[in-house]
Amino acid sequence: MESLWHVNTKLPKFPKLDRDIKTDVLIIGGGIAGILTAYFLHQSGVKYTLVEKERICSGTTQYTTAKITFHHGLIYHKIFQNSGAETARKYLNVNRKAFEKYAELCRNINCSYEIKENYVYSVNNRKKLENETDALWRIGYKAELCENLPIPIRTVGAVKFPDQAQFDPLKFISAISDGLNIYENTFVRTMIGTTAVTDKCRIKAEKVIVASHFPFINKHGSYFLKLYQHRSYVIVLQNAQNVNGMYVDEDHKGMSFRNYNELLLVGGGGHRTGERGGNWNELRSFVNLRYPQAKELYHWAAQDCMSLDGIPYIGNYSQSTPNLYAACGFNKWGMTGAMVSAMILSDMVIGKRNEYADIFSPSRSILKPQLFINSGVAIKNLLTPTVKRCPHMGCALKWNSAEHSWDCACHGSRFSQNGKVLDNPANGDYKVQ
């Protein structure tokens, strides 16, 4: 399973850390969020170190569909209803700033950056689209409700954002990571205060940013309650269609479309990690019906952390950890989410106030409907009688026949057939029985 981006790009290599060191800021996680944070700290002259357990971008970043947009599903009506117009406006403004920062950086990087319109459609709920458009107008953004999309799905319309973008994320990362202080194949197994313990050494830091997709330190922040993970699937087609834009269903289980040169990326088949879903079988059935002449060139799957309220967690890991920070829960919008987290956290660690930090605080209220769903799933899987248990918190592991892995429905950890950890928060391998 290789992504189109991975095949097209040769990322730079970095050494393994095998000695004890000290640093002002330690960044754990070499995906796009961690690397952007390192880039900004590097530009500011801050002493930092980034460590990645494997190769940089070996996790979720290489499996993105790489849409750069501040149009995150139907999020604005939800924020408007739950937190008010000011919070919705601030969410829009900071994500627009993230978009603009990508545009600035990509001017000098050959990364297939293209301006495209973004559409969030619905197959059965026109009222949701109307509510989203109304909320956007009320916070000052003139979104358009449109019809007749050029995709092979019958919809009831879509909310349109003009002048959004798409790119090749690994070509972008290859350029901005050059010259950064990065160590690969350096797996942080545990933390003692702000000292990271790896298999070979210890890293003593003044401040630590956990950008490891799902935060792995359980004793702070209650992320095992605040997050769940969702799988989604992508196939890349030759001889399919130019859809001339980016399209995504407002339903997490729906389908997405975008082109890359002459190729078409079709996404969908999604499900909560550890549960059953359509996976590539659903996509291939759709393609056989709608694009019978197309040829599949690549396929992959992605894993996304989902927050309780649709807003990422960016900031102090918890109220009791002033020198420990987190960036997670990007809710399938990892490109702008990563940039927002890098901008906020690079300010926070140098003591600079960021006007948007409050709306992303990981310590905000967790009393949301999704909390009770997450708790119910956890209780069910903790009580499921099976020998195979996740080393993270002991939940039952379930076999994923599509990807040949053992997956945890509680928190989304995944393991290969021989027990190697594939996705965290589990921070070690599963011992095969």
CA distance 216 to 266: 31
Residue 236 contacts residue 247 (beta carbons within 8 Å): no
Tokens 């990807």 belong to which residue? 403
In whole angstroms, how far apart are CA 155 and each of 126, 151, 187, 270? 9, 9, 45, 19
In whole angstroms, how far apart are CA 374 and each of 225, 301, 414? 6, 22, 17
Query: Nearest to residue 332, comparing CAs of 233, 410, 408, 244?
Result: 233
Which distant-in-sequence residues (6+ apart) come within 8 Å of 227 by Cβ? 214, 215, 305, 306, 307, 308, 313, 328, 329, 374, 411, 412
Q: What tokens does 162 get?
A: 């003009």
CA distance 233 to 423: 16
CA distance 424 to 227: 12
User: What pLDDT band is residue 431 in, cutting at 50, 70 and 90?
Assistant: confident
What local confidence, expressed as pLDDT, does residue 169 receive?
97
Q: What tokens does 111 get?
A: 């990364």
CA distance 283 to 207: 44
Instruction: Measure the CA angle with vertex 230, ends 226 and 234; round to 5°.
Output: 155
Counting residues of the chain whose pLDDT is more than 90, the rounded percentage is 94
Longest CA–CA span in the chain (Å) reads 60
CA distance 364 to 342: 20
pLDDT in tens, 162-217: 999 999 999 999 999 999 999 999 999 999 999 999 998 999 999 999 999 999 99
CA distance 423 to 412: 7
User: What pLDDT band is residue 432 in, cutting at 50, 70 and 90?
Assistant: low
Domains delineated in the chain: 4-64+171-225+309-360 (3.50.50.60), 113-165+227-306 (3.30.9.10), 369-423 (2.102.10.10)
**pLDDT higher than threshold 70 for residue 78:** yes
**pLDDT higher than threshold 60 for residue 433:** no
What local confidence, expressed as pLDDT, does residue 396 receive?
93
CA distance 137 to 145: 11
Alpha-carbon torsion angle 46, 109, 335, 158, nearest 10: 150
CA distance 50 to 52: 7
* DSSP states along 366-419: --SHHHHHHHHHHHHHHHS--S-B-TTT-PBEEEETTTTEEEETTT--EE-TT-
pLDDT in tens, 30-77: 999 999 999 999 999 999 999 999 999 999 999 999 999 999 999 999
What 3-state class would DSSP assign to 227?
coil
What local confidence, expressed as pLDDT, does residue 1 receive?
74
pLDDT in tens, 321-361: 999 999 999 999 999 999 999 999 999 999 999 999 999 99
* DSSP states along 51-80: E-SSSTT-SGGGG---EE-S--TTHHHHHH
pLDDT in tens, 10-37: 899 999 999 999 999 999 999 999 999 9
Residue type, 406: W
User: What pLDDT band is residue 429 in, cutting at 50, 70 and 90?
Assistant: confident
CA distance 206 to 208: 7
pLDDT in tens, 295-326: 999 999 999 999 999 999 999 999 999 999 99
pLDDT in tens, 357-415: 999 999 999 999 999 999 999 999 998 888 889 999 999 999 999 999 999 999 999 99
